[in-house]
Amino acid sequence: MAEPKKRLTSSRSGWRRSHQKIKKLSLSTCPKCKTRIIPHRVCSNCGFYKGKDILKLDEKAKIKEQRRKKKETENE
């Protein structure tokens, strides 16, 4: 395997690594619930994206509650 003739300087290594830094996340606010979210993502708090209820969390919560009540009545 080939070996480098000379050792790279620290400045040259630094130039190469200059683009590997961690960037700060840019967060925006959800227009519905005002929580901080990553842009172009569904809000994990309320389930809305671009004014539409994508995850339908309210409906899913109601269905879960109905199933729980049904199981409780069956177990009694």
pLDDT digits (tens, 9 = 90+) for 4-63: 888 889 999 999 999 999 989 899 999 989 999 999 999 988 888 888 888 887 788 888
Chain centroid, CA 25 distance in Å: 11
Amino acid at 53: D
CB 39 within 8 A of CB 29: no
| pTM for the structure as a whole | 0.52
pLDDT at 28: 93
Please check the confidence at residue 69 and state whether its pLDDT lies above 80: yes
Residue listed under structure tokens 């040259």: 12
Which residue has tokens 């409906």? Answer: 59
User: What is the separation, in whole angstroms, between the first and last Cα of the chain?
Assistant: 76
| Per-residue pLDDT, 18 | 92
